[in-house]
Amino acid sequence: MDKTCVLVQELLPLYVDGACTAEGAAVVAEHLGSCPACRTVWQEMCAPLLQAEPLSENSGAASAPEAPFKKVKRHYVWHTVKALVLTALGMWFILLAANDLIGGDGFSLRCFPAWWRARGAVQAVVERDEAAIARRLAFSGEVPEALEKLAAEGVVITGGRAVLSETYLEDMFLLLTVEFEVQADGQCWTVPFTGTCRSGRVELMYIDPGWPGWDAERPTWADALEQALYTYDPG
């Protein structure tokens, strides 16, 4: 084996790690461009990192080692980013779990299932699906009839969503927010309801009193809508 080859192959591990001096890297790169034997060794070193992307046989001598080298660097950057994101996520979950254990206020792991159930409850109300309403909302015996009555009066719930960011604990009590799209008086309103979730079922309470959606005053149908969906049992 050529003396240069021995030297280059000794430097290759550093080169692959991007730990060579600029001078050393230039020498290695130049040699890799002209020596198939060393290039093979280098490619084998890179293979697990590069997912075996073969060098084109016809690529120019100087540019050939350059592109894969950048890929190796990108590979490390990607792994670092991934590790950081996973660490941050892990710490977030630990904080949420800790919040559940100490019974603190704010967001906690319990909020996820509550939000998910609120989604189902919203869908059931929007579709006026009697069976689904009974399954997903507590104390909902009169809800389907009340919704029918409202619809007959021109107040129709056309859509809605549960708001994860507005789902939180307050004094150990879980509060959630759902927003209903309501068509009434020839207008479309987004009406936020506060509620809770206990034993796997959603209980809706009242329309968020501080809601800025009412320009001047609450529309006349708001009370009826609130009564129709009120399914909270304080006892």
Residues that bind Zn ion (CB under 5 A): 5, 35, 38
And the tokens for 131?
A: 């069976």
What percent helix, strand, coil does the chain show, rounded to 5? 50, 20, 30
The dihedral sign for the CA sequence 202, 205, 209, 213? positive
Smallest distance, Å, CB 15 to Zn ion? 13
Smallest distance, Å, CB 18 to Zn ion? 20
Smallest distance, Å, CB 73 to Zn ion? 23
The span from the CA of 124 to the CA of 137, in Å, is: 9
What is the β-pairing status of strands 156-170 and 201-207? unpaired
The 3 state secondary structure assigned to 57-70 is CCCCCCCCCHHHHH
Smallest distance, Å, CB 45 to Zn ion? 14
Nearer residue to Zn ion within complex by CB, 5 or 16? 5
**DSSP class of residue 217?**
S
Taking residue 67's Cβ as centre, other Cβ atoms within 10 Å add up to 12
Smallest distance, Å, CB 57 to Zn ion? 17
And the tokens for 165?
A: 């960011």
- The owner of tokens 């590069």 is 50
Smallest distance, Å, CB 8 to Zn ion? 5
Nearer residue to Zn ion within complex by CB, 6 or 98? 6
Nearer residue to Zn ion within complex by CB, 38 or 197? 38
**Closest listed residue to residue 125, CA positions, set 155, 154, 152, 159:** 159
Smallest distance, Å, CB 36 to Zn ion? 8
Q: Any residues with CB less than 8 A from the CB of 167 and at least 6 apart, and which?
A: 107, 111, 114, 115, 118, 174, 175, 176, 177
